[in-house]
A and B are shown apart, each in its own frame.
Chain A
Amino acid sequence: MEIIEYLLLYITPYIAVIVLIGGTIYQVYRWSQRKPVPAHLSLFPRPQSRLGRLGDALLDMFTLRGLFRVNTLLWIGAFAMHIGLLLLILGHIRVVTDFYFLWDWIGWGEEELHTFSLVAGVSAGVLFLVPLFYLLPRRFGGSVKFLSTPEDYFILILLIAIAVTGMHMRSVLDVDQHAMRKFMQGLYIFRWEELPESAGISFIWHFALVQLLMIYFPFGKLMHTIGSIFNKMVMRS
């Protein structure tokens, strides 16, 4: 057990980062090796100017307004989940550093900050987790059932597991944030620190599952993160 814990804490994180970045670059390179279609595949209406089209594609990407128009229920689920995810990623910046200037500017001390991060973290977690419990059962019926492959269930269950372990640490355990930050910073500068006791068993699971997600990212449908913006430009060419 100890050896596995050691690997997951100090070795595999580096592999995960390398696979995530290297794999993503490789996939985009693989796509780029194919010839583009020598035609305009535009869907109309579309803006006239090039800048307008880029703006339109980005707006569409960040708001999914096309989906909103044709399938509002799915839009609510997908949009809330993605916004929750975005907020969680923003919050996780505090794992390695902190927005010191921001807290100074607002004038928050240790205690206010603690309360804020609890409220904000749990809210973002709920925003992320609840839609997943709509998106998963959705796959068991109707036309989506035909389409669903093991990958779809795998990703959804993985995301739920990551969210649940994360929520557990955030809301149930009292994790020593300073010690945690020291541990993570240690990973970045190759000066490995002990994992604080307060992190509990949830952290190992949370950390390991996130690494699994990072390793899987380039090889499956999660690449829609990168591919969608390319395609949105192609379809406005």
Chain B
Amino acid sequence: MLTRFIDTFRGRISRPLEYYGDICVRCGACADACHFYAASKDPAHIPAQRMMLVKKALQGGESGKGKFLDWYREYQGADPAFAAQLEKAMWDCTGCRRCAVFCPFDLDTGLLVGTGRYAMLQEEIGPEMIAEIGDAEVSKGEIIDFVKEFFVEQTRELEARLQEEFHPDLEIPVEKEGADALYVPLVGEHAIIPAAKIFHAAGQSWTLSLFTATNHSYFVGDSAKAKDAANWIVQEARRLGVKAIVYPECGHASRTLFNYFEGWFGDELEGIERLNIVPLTYQYLSEGKIKVKPGMFDTRLTYHDSCSLGRSSGMYEEPRELIHAVATNYQEMTPNRELNWCCGGGGGLIAAAEDKFQIRMQGGLPKVDQIRETGAKWVVTACENCKTQLEDLNEHYKLGIEIKGVIDLIADALIV
């Protein structure tokens, strides 16, 4: 039982994970941080307990039997009941790291869960769908020449439509060498449309990437594949000679861009800036490159801090400034910024589809309460995962709200 989990995990312990088990004092501060624990009261959802379960599994030793002072370490052996608890601990987590903010030592459960998930998949426990999408993102680069034609054709159609609806000079360049910015979209045109409008209005020289920013291998802690998937984008940027890679409204992808790319690619990134569309749009606005109609929206709205963009990338003020530029009836959520509740849909749980729907809806309860308190009709956010989760929560709990992206608001309020 769990031998492959144990072996895999042991081989992948990083420096922080080596001391997490030693230095956690089990003070329980993290229990109040976790949205899953708040909603379920299941001890396996307490962040410190997630770490303790891994620690107990690893203490089992090669034979699977405990050795020294079992009663003291509360080692029970790896039976199916233990494996079920461990599965909950590793998979019912969005890696939002709210618990790390609560922890007096800043211990990062997201890091633990990443490594744990990879090891769990070796044991074939957990939703394999997430890893499969990750694999598809890696292999997309190999078949890109076959799908390129179709992609370009679709983009031309979208371009023609936007020229009619928005501005006759609007362009959506693909594979344009010497462009300044490479915009990496998401699956679907909703991530391209507002960006194309804003780039057009700002007079930005840009080109659309053939790839998508999402990186599902990252969700399952497979850093080698996560790097491979991101590598296609870096190589595309180098081939086209762009000066910046711009990521869309996507939390986890932006987190990889800001916090992982340096370690993965090092010198290859020389001369390439790494940006997210939201701060970039704010830059356009503050430099006067784009103009918006102030007070365009008077609907009561609120902003949801995405965990990956806020806590993990420090993007707190730019989206708020952008919203204030176009909306008059803004209501802040409580708590907000680094203490904001996670929406409950991150960490790849959305991709696990039916498997994790129930737990997502449960884990979203603190968020639902927060939204209800603001009385907002629109919830604005800058992360695709959060948007999907909030849509699901909206439907499930009949909130009667609309979910919007930050750059959607700006694109709708542009003066061209």
Interface residues of chain A, those whose CB is within 8 Å of chain B, are: 27, 30-46, 64, 66-67, 69-71, 74, 78, 142-144, 146-152, 220-221, 223-224, 226-228, 230-232, 234-235
Contact = CB atoms under 8 A, between A and B. Distances in A.
Nearest to B108: A41
B15 A31 contact: yes
Given A66-B104, A231-B16, A223 B22 contact: yes
Contacts of B103: 66
Given A31-B22, A46-B314, A220-B22, 4 more contacts: A36-B14, A147-B49, A230-B19, A231-B16
Contacts of A147: 26, 28, 31, 43, 46, 48-49, 52
Interface in B259-296: 259-260, 262-264
B29 A67 contact: yes
B27 interface: yes
Nearest to B13: A34
Given A227-B23, A227-B105, A44 B14 contact: no
- Most chain A CB atoms below 10 A, which of B28, B48, B339: B28
Given A44-B313, A44-B314, A227-B23, A66 B101 contact: yes
Interface in B96-119: 97, 100-108, 111
A232 B25 CA distance: 15
7 contacts: A34-B13, A36-B14, A38-B263, A39-B262, A64-B104, A74-B29, A231-B19
Nearest to B317: A45
A150 B259 CA distance: 38
A226 B25 CA distance: 13
Interface stretch (B69-77, B342-350, B352-360): B69-77
- Most chain B CB atoms below 10 A, which of A31, A147, A231, A235: A147
Interface in B17-69: 17-19, 22-29, 31-33, 37, 43, 46, 48-49, 52
A74 B27 CA distance: 8
B207 interface: no
B316 interface: yes
B29 A71 contact: yes
Nearest to B27: A74
A37 B264 CA distance: 11
A221 B29 CA distance: 16
Nearest to A234: B16
Nearest to B46: A143
A71 B101 CA distance: 12
Contacts of B104: 64, 66-67, 78, 228
A87 B264 CA distance: 46
Given A78-B27, A235-B108, A149 B73 contact: yes
A39 B339 contact: no
Contacts of B313: 44
B34 to A, nearest CB: 10
Interface residues of B, number: 55
Nearest to B263: A38
Contacts of B27: 74, 78, 144
B314 A39 contact: no
Contacts of A38: 223, 260, 263-264
B338 interface: yes
Contacts of A42: 259, 312, 314
Interface string B231-275: 000000000000000000000000000111011100000000000
A78 B25 CA distance: 11
Given A147-B46, A223-B23, A40 B259 contact: yes
B304 interface: no
B316 A45 contact: yes
- Most chain B CB atoms below 10 A, which of A148, A149, A221, A231: A231
B22 A43 contact: no
Contacts of B52: 147, 149
A44 B264 CA distance: 22
B32 A71 contact: yes
Interface string B188-208: 000000000000000000000
A78 B27 CA distance: 9
Contacts of B405: none
